[in-house]
Amino acid sequence: MSPQRSRPSGSALPYAGPAGVRLLAQQLSAMPAELQKELQGRFRPLIKAAGETVKRATAVKASWSSRIPKALRLQVSFGAKSAGLRLTVLESVAPHARAYEGITDRRAIFRHPVFGDEDVWVAQATRPFLWPALQATRGQVVADVEEAIDLAARSVGFR
């Protein structure tokens, strides 16, 4: 990967991170519908492949659970306001994921009743899996997304 590349618009716009993907989605919305569909069709699978890196890393970090890795879902969106990759955990499959990630109250522990007995509560340490995986793979995912955007843009004639 060369350090200086032409972007789809011909300018040096940084298409990295969430702001870059939103900017790309906004620019796509200004293009003719046929070109939008062609571009999205070309880079949606490439960007999804980049997101699979995070999904695999998250599954490894949550391998102590039999349900969390199965509950991971990856979505690619190109809406002008919600463009990007979204990795979610289905609450219906892994209801314990939020507590273990520490999302409920941002502490290192969470409390729960023992086997539903509301008279006996215990404190349990969180076991974050999503945030550490995101941090560990961030650089690679950004590079993969940038490359996917460049490949898709070049494939339809941008330089």
Whether 128 maps to a domain, the answer reads no
pTM here is: 0.71
Whether 122 maps to a domain, the answer reads no
**DSSP state, residue 127:** -
Whether 58 maps to a domain, the answer reads yes
Q: Is the pLDDT of residue 63 over 70?
A: yes
Please give the residue range of the domain that contains residue 21.
Answer: 17-98+133-155
Whether 146 maps to a domain, the answer reads yes
Q: Is the pLDDT of residue 128 over 50?
A: yes
Return the number of other C-beta atoms located less than 10 Å from residue 14's C-beta.
10
Using one digit for the tens of pLDDT, what is the confidence trace for 48-61? 888 899 999 999 99
pLDDT over 90 for what percent of the chain?
25
- For the segment 63-68, the average pLDDT, to the nearest whole number, is 94
Long-range pairs, 130-136, Cβ under 8 A, ≥24: 130/58, 130/61, 130/62, 130/87, 130/89, 130/101, 131/101, 132/61, 133/54, 133/57, 133/58, 133/60, 133/61, 134/54, 134/58, 134/87, 136/57
Q: Closest Cα partner for 109 from 94, 88, 128, 93?
A: 128
Whether 6 maps to a domain, the answer reads no
- Rounded CA separation 144/138 (Å): 10
Number of domains making up the chain: 1
Whether 80 maps to a domain, the answer reads yes
- Rounded CA separation 90/35 (Å): 34
Whether 2 maps to a domain, the answer reads no
Whether 23 maps to a domain, the answer reads yes
